[in-house]
Amino acid sequence: MNFEHLKPSVLAALSTKELSREEKLKDLCQLLQDHISYYNWVGFYFANHDTKTLHLGPYVGAETDHTVIPFGKGICGQVAISDQNFVVPDVSAQDNYIACSFTVKSEIVVPLFVNGKNIGQIDIDSHVINPFTEADERFLEFVTQEVAKLY
């Protein structure tokens, strides 16, 4: 997939002056889900470094019970510690995976840095096995860099 054509839409979603930061992030999640067929759940988790937990922020997709995730737990929790992208081609092959839904087959998580500190992440679930490529990683790094400007 060529993500270049989506970049201007990402910038537009994040620069709408009339919307709050939360509304911009929700619109961004919706944009990504609407335009990338294998992005079936798109959301943000934000870190509380005092309690070493992640807290669910704006998202689109199926409801989730995972509103608070301890650092180290699941894919998101591991990214909170590693500060690295984590691509999971097949969630059934992961030992430290928190199952959100039986429909989720793969996941990609990219950390969100503000002034060099990991403040959260974008988390994307797919109903397809192994859809994520290096192009997804680079695009989501662009997305998180743009989101960081809101903080």
pLDDT at 100 over 70: no
What's the CA gap between 36 and 98, in Å, rounded?
Answer: 23
Q: Are residues 69 and 107 in contact, defined by beta-carbon separation less than 8 angstroms?
A: no
* Span 17-23, average pLDDT: 95
pLDDT at 102 over 80: no
Structural domains counted in the chain: 1
Q: Which domain holds residue 127?
A: 4-148
* Span 8-20, average pLDDT: 95
Locate 126 and state its tokens.
């797919």
Which CATH number do you get for residue 89? 3.30.450.40
Asked whether the whole model's pTM tops 0.85, one would answer: yes
Q: Which residue has the higher pLDDT, 97 or 24?
A: 24
What's the CA gap between 67 and 45, in Å, rounded?
Answer: 8
Widest CA span in the chain: 44
What's the CA gap between 24 and 11, in Å, rounded?
Answer: 10
pLDDT at 104 over 90: no
